[in-house]
Structure 1
């Protein structure tokens, strides 16, 4: 399915960084707690098309689950003390010599040090680390004329909901997103191959802010054209 469209850009927000949302949804008003601190062992929902931020302490493990098996979850990990240090896949790919991490692999920051480890994955292991988070400009390129929920704004809003702000939108860990690279180096945009109930476990190597977005993409089939919720638990 072709995803090449005429480029029509929204008027960007004023400022010298990329940290201000271009629209809003319920994400801003529904944090899991005032500062993102979770109740260990409690299951939380990231509603379809929305985002959530959670604090994960060094040594704790967050389990992110795909209840329906069909939903992509854009996932970011920030150093809780300095949000300008974050999980970076251009650095992680170089560190692990892989395009997609597997259990036992470290996830490293833009400072080239581990921020977390992928410790378990019950899915076939098909995730994406190449594609930027969807944003308002992406949907305009796909022909959407009005505001469309998007992962970039979900990141910004989820952080804002707990009193934080990032100056940029890093490359996310696109859990369960199926973007095969073909022999001629072109890519495809396909539905997930995960099954209902699959999960990944990510263990924090430092105090972190983990942000998840239940991707709102409903124009190309990466969510089987039907965005739904995902779930997460900071294990006790």
Structure 2
């Protein structure tokens, strides 16, 4: 269950504009709330150990450990070293994807035509934000897509369909180690993950 916290415990509170990246250090025990302000907005998210960024979120280990491609309250996000990086402690939407990855110039071209190649993408956002912390595109790994609706079709393929999150829906994560969180507030306009209209989100970090 989410715990309401007083203003004196707030470490950071920021509106992330539509299409833009964000990053912040989240210390062990602190809680990060990601709020889908207007609903139906995909929020691509990554975590790296602040002590050693070579340790980072592992979608494969997280999926294997919990036996599901979707994450929600109670899910422990595992690193590539098998350590718990964060735990989802509250979720008003549910069913967040951690399989479909981030949109890129290459995927835009393949899925939507060559004219979309130079559209802004989550991969671009991540690369730009990672550079602020001394990392490069070689450090990118598969990410979480909070609030993104990605059902598995009967033939095993992934579909990206209309989102189900409502305005004000949120997910809360408690850091189990000092982590750097990276977000791309997804700029995709060619599929329904953002209702074809990217919108702002809000991030709030509290002391635990």
* Alpha-carbon distance between aligned partners in 2 of 1:93 and 1:135, rounded to the nearest angstrom: 23
- What residue number does 2:149 align with? 178
User: Can you list the C-alpha shifts for 1:54-111, whole angstroms capped at 9, x where unaligned?
Assistant: 0000111100000011100000000012111111110111111221122122110011
Aligned positions of 1:9-28 closer than 5 A: none
Q: Which moved more, 1:92-101 or 1:139-148?
A: 139-148
Aligned positions of 1:21-60 closer than 5 A: 40-60=10-30
CA contact (8 A) 2:49 2:178 kept: yes
Residue in structure 2 matching 1:153, options 98, 121, 124: 124
Match status 1:221 vs 2:195: no
Aligned positions of 1:61-76 closer than 5 A: 61-76=31-46
Q: Which moved more, 1:137-146 or 1:77-86?
A: 137-146
CA-CA distance at 1:188 after TM superposition: 2.2
Superposed CA RMSD? 1.6
Give the unaligned 5+ runs of structure 2.
Answer: 1-8
Larger strand proportion of the pair: 2
User: Can you list the C-alpha shifts for 1:125-174, whole angstroms capped at 9, x where unaligned?
Assistant: 1211111211111122222435211111111212223x421432111110
* Alpha-carbon distance between aligned partners in 2 of 1:190 and 1:234, rounded to the nearest angstrom: 30
- What residue number does 1:19 align with? none
CA contact (8 A) 1:51 1:155 kept: yes
Match status 1:82 vs 2:52: yes
CA contact (8 A) 1:46 1:213 kept: no
In the superposition, the TM-score normalised over structure 2's length comes to: 0.88
Aligned positions of 1:51-200 closer than 5 A: 51-123=21-93, 125-141=94-110, 142-145=112-115, 147-161=118-132, 163-166=133-136, 167-200=138-171
* Alpha-carbon distance between aligned partners in 2 of 1:158 and 1:45, rounded to the nearest angstrom: 16
* Secondary structure at the counterpart of residue 184 of structure 1: coil
In the superposition, the TM-score normalised over structure 1's length comes to: 0.78
Give the unaligned 5+ runs of structure 1.
Answer: 1-38
CA-CA distance at 1:186 after TM superposition: 3.1
* Alpha-carbon distance between aligned partners in 2 of 1:158 and 1:61, rounded to the nearest angstrom: 21
* Alpha-carbon distance between aligned partners in 1 of 2:192 and 2:34, rounded to the nearest angstrom: 21
Larger helix proportion of the pair: 2
